[in-house]
Structure 1
Amino acid sequence: MEYRRRVLDDELDDLFTQVPAVAIDGPKGVGKTTTAEQHVEGLLRLDSRSAREAIEAEPEQLLRRHRPLLIDEWQKVPEVWDVVRRAVDDDPSGGQFLLVGSASPAVGATAHSGAGRIGRLRMRPMTLSERGVASTSVSVPSLLTGRREALSGSCDLRLDDYVEEIVASGFPALRPLTGRARRFQLDSYLRNAVDRDVPEQGLAVRKPESMLLWLRAYAAATSTTASYSQILDAATPGQADKPARSTSIAYREVLTQLWLIDPVPAWTPAGSVLTRLGQSPKHHLADPALAARLLGLGKDALLDGVGSPVGPQSGSMLGHLFESLATLCLRVSAQAAEASVGHLRTRNGDHEVDLVLVRDDGRVVAVEVKLSSTVSDHDTRHLRWLADRLGDRLLDAVVVTTGPQAYRRPDGIGVVPLGLVGP
């Protein structure tokens, strides 16, 4: 198959010529190895037993391989991290090593964090623009300039198309699949994660079904700030003898190490402009298709409004999964634009902003996500509240929708179909 270029390719083009070593993190199946292969000449696969045993016996031998060198699944022999770190200490010229890993090694597995020597990039599932289902006319970098330029462009995607993209997944290998084959592969992905990948991370799960139930409850908390006790209660309804809190923490930690959980942290601005903000993250799985599959929600069920979320936020499960899809698309573009992503929610829940894109200087773009083709004043009330408090620290404010047109309202707030948003 012809390679479909990813947003991360642009980041590597910018960085790898000057940075000697870059680690690409992300869940299995997201396309890390295929993308990394476009930027190297040598390849070392540590998921191969023979290659792994040889490197375990003498990690330094990897330095004799041709560079730029891709070290695939490097976490299976954590010692290679320190070998690479020492190599770039000796020779800091750019473009030497790409390290790809689908799990984060346990703390202490490497002697040094690699700070200042090995850069790190996160790779997520394919965005709508990467999937080729839509064309970008509103770029995240342009929003982050604060110029508030006119917005334009029309999008052919409608609600039915967005729902199809939620369940179709952004994992490249799953994109050609439909129907039962797609459901089978999503189920297999989740089962393999629990049965194989979690034990490889050192967590012995006595009851894999309990972990799947916890994952299912976490999926139901998608795009909410539900507490972990609420998630645990949802995973064990009617059970008086619930698993210990430490068990829930262990589940969360190991699934984070596997990059399967991808929460959006609470945004805390510098200074005293905003007070009494919540600190809970917004929950997201790596791909909204995983959440939909865990909940047994196909396209028709989502369109019929089946499913209720766990946690304080209201709305349909479709609305929460659409927000998760939007979050995926915006995070990929924000990372490429050197911006971080958080969310805002006051402690009493009277104000919330779905996503806050933050520049290095602390100035932000505020984003609301609405499962609607139209936007009213009621839909923009939180954005206007935030604008009143941030002043010129607010670069721009937009509402992401399922509608057909991009435009600016008379109050200056942008309205953008999700399909038009990109890098």
Structure 2
Amino acid sequence: MEYQPRILDGVISDALKRFPAIALDGPKAVGKSATASRLAGSVFTLDNPEELAILRADRGRTSSADRPVLLDEWQYDPPIWDHVRREVDHDRTPGRFLLTGSANTNDAQIHTGAGRIVRLRMYPMSLAERRLDEPSVSLGQILADVSVDIEGTTDVSLDSYVREIVSSGFPALRHGSEATVADELDAYLTYALQREVPALGSMFRRPQALLAWLRAYAAAASTTASFESIAAAVTKESRPSRATIGDFREALAQLWLLDEIPAWAPEGGELNRLGNKPKHQLADPALAARLLRATPESLLGNRTRADTNRNYRSLKNGPLLGSLFETLVTLCVRCYVPPFGHQVGHLRTHSGDHEVDLIVESPDGRVVAIEIKLASEIDDSDVRHLNWLHEKIGDELIDKIVVTSGKFAYRRQDGVAVVPLALLGS
């Protein structure tokens, strides 16, 4: 399959000129190996038993190989992490090592690597990487407080966004018929729950119960529903305990499959009584859609099982399509935000009277606030939370944006930028 360029290509190339070791994290099949191997001087594939045995017998091979040395799927040999850390302590020449991993091991004996190994996150493909349209609005420039013209027109329709939701941002999974992609996603989830979770050392051995909980979690995508309410949506036979839910979350987060958005916690006293619950997201909206057996036809007609199942109905804010569109936008924003020093969160007051879907915080503490609306046309009610936040924090707000499914990018008289998702880029 022809390589599809990724936003991180240039980021990793620049990082290798500055840092001795780069770790590229993300879920399986997200494209880490394909991206890293194009930049590597030599490759050790640690999920290959023969290569793993050779490397365990002779760690020195990593020092004599051509640089950068790619250690692909390093979690198959956790001690290699500390080997790289010690090598970097010895020689901090930039561009020595690349590590890729599909599981974030929590082995207490492994050093964090802080100060030696710089970690970058790879997400499933954004819409810009899928090349639906040419973006005309740069989120990176907005965050840099560069004057950006909010303009452009797109022919990408709601139908196209729906197709992208179910087609997946995993490069190897998204090619083929709708039925083929659905089968690939089922296989992906089955492998993760039946093989990868137990491989983490989890004592949990009921993958069907984990699948039932994950399906309820998918129904709660883009909400801050309590974990108690998510568990209550699972049938009594599969309903997990509070302790088991913690195990579920830890295992799936280690596989980079859960991608919760933390609550924004600003410094200073401009805002108070903000909620601290995370917003629930899966790594790819296609995973949530597949768990709920959503199809393009059912999403556009709002007739998914999640909509008709009363157990799930209380977990969602409106139709499932709106939740999945927000997941898709969130994925894209995370791809477009510069990787060093920026944080992505969300805002919700304790009372729930004010919410902002995404808050992107720059290294200096100022923020870009983003609302996500499935509608193609925006009115005053759609921007009231953005303007409320502007009144609260003033110049600390770099910009306020509504991301839509519409055709035109423009700036409203109140200063809110209205940007179709297809026109937003890095």
- Secondary structure of 1:385's match? helix
Distance, in Å, in 1 between the alignment partners of 2:339 and 2:61 is 34
Alignment of 1:250-269 (within 5 A): 250-269=247-266
Relative to structure 2, which stretch is displaced further, 322-331 or 83-92? Answer: 83-92
Residue 63 of structure 1 corresponds to: 63
- Secondary structure of 2:337's match? helix
Shift in alpha-carbon separation, 1:5–1:255, aligned structure 2, 3 A: same
Distance, in Å, in 2 between the alignment partners of 1:213 and 1:340 is 31
Residue 301 of structure 1 corresponds to: 298
Distance, in Å, in 1 between the alignment partners of 2:369 and 2:205 is 43
Alignment of 1:390-401 (within 5 A): 390-401=393-404
Residue 67 of structure 1 deviates from its aligned partner by: 1.6
Residue 155 of structure 1 deviates from its aligned partner by: 1.0
Residue 344 of structure 2 corresponds to: 341
2:187 is the counterpart of 1:153: no
Cα offsets for 1:151-178 (capped at 9, x unmatched): 1111111100000000000000112122
Residue 367 of structure 2 corresponds to: 364
Residue 117 of structure 1 deviates from its aligned partner by: 0.5
Residue 225 of structure 1 corresponds to: 224
Relative to structure 2, which stretch is displaced further, 136-145 or 379-388? Answer: 136-145
Residue 135 of structure 1 deviates from its aligned partner by: 1.1
Residue 41 of structure 1 deviates from its aligned partner by: 1.3
CA contact (8 A) 1:23 1:98 kept: yes
Distance, in Å, in 1 between the alignment partners of 2:340 and 2:402 is 19
2:68 is the counterpart of 1:40: no
What is the letter of the counterpart of residue 149 of structure 2? A
Alignment of 1:14-413 (within 5 A): 14-110=14-110, 112-147=111-146, 149-236=148-235, 239=236, 242-306=239-303, 307-308=306-307, 314-336=317-339, 338-413=341-416
Cα offsets for 1:213-244 (capped at 9, x unmatched): 011011001000011111111123xx288432
Cα offsets for 1:305-354 (capped at 9, x unmatched): 12346666621110000000000000111134752110000011110000
- Secondary structure of 1:53's match? helix
- Secondary structure of 1:400's match? strand
Distance, in Å, in 2 between the alignment partners of 1:40 and 1:374 is 46
Cα offsets for 1:358-402 (capped at 9, x unmatched): 001110000000001000000001001100001000000010000
CA contact (8 A) 2:120 2:339 kept: no
Residue 90 of structure 1 deviates from its aligned partner by: 1.1
Cα offsets for 1:104-136 (capped at 9, x unmatched): 1123141x2111000000000000010111211
TM-score between the two structures when normalised by the length of structure 1 = 0.96
Shift in alpha-carbon separation, 1:58–1:108, aligned structure 2, 3 A: farther
- Secondary structure of 1:399's match? strand
Distance, in Å, in 1 between the alignment partners of 2:6 and 2:146 is 27
Shift in alpha-carbon separation, 1:310–1:80, aligned structure 2, 3 A: farther
Distance, in Å, in 1 between the alignment partners of 2:238 and 2:295 is 32
Relative to structure 2, which stretch is displaced further, 283-292 or 10-19? Answer: 10-19
CA contact (8 A) 1:226 1:310 kept: no
Distance, in Å, in 2 between the alignment partners of 1:166 and 1:88 is 41
Residue 421 of structure 1 deviates from its aligned partner by: 0.7
Q: Runs of 4 or more off by more than 6 Å in structure 1?
A: none
Distance, in Å, in 2 between the alignment partners of 1:86 and 1:350 is 51
Aligned length: 420
CA contact (8 A) 2:41 2:68 kept: yes
CA contact (8 A) 1:140 1:337 kept: no
Residue 248 of structure 1 deviates from its aligned partner by: 0.8
TM-score between the two structures when normalised by the length of structure 2 = 0.96
CA contact (8 A) 1:23 1:99 kept: yes
Distance, in Å, in 2 between the alignment partners of 1:310 and 1:274 is 32
- Secondary structure of 1:354's match? strand
Distance, in Å, in 1 between the alignment partners of 2:239 and 2:399 is 45
Residue 206 of structure 1 deviates from its aligned partner by: 2.5
Distance, in Å, in 2 between the alignment partners of 1:160 and 1:336 is 31
Identity of aligned residues (%): 49
CA contact (8 A) 1:221 1:310 kept: no
Segments of 5+ residues of structure 2 without an aligned counterpart are: none
Cα offsets for 1:73-100 (capped at 9, x unmatched): 1011011111111111111011110000
- Secondary structure of 2:5's match? coil
What is the letter of the counterpart of residue 412 of structure 1? G
Distance, in Å, in 1 between the alignment partners of 2:213 and 2:349 is 27
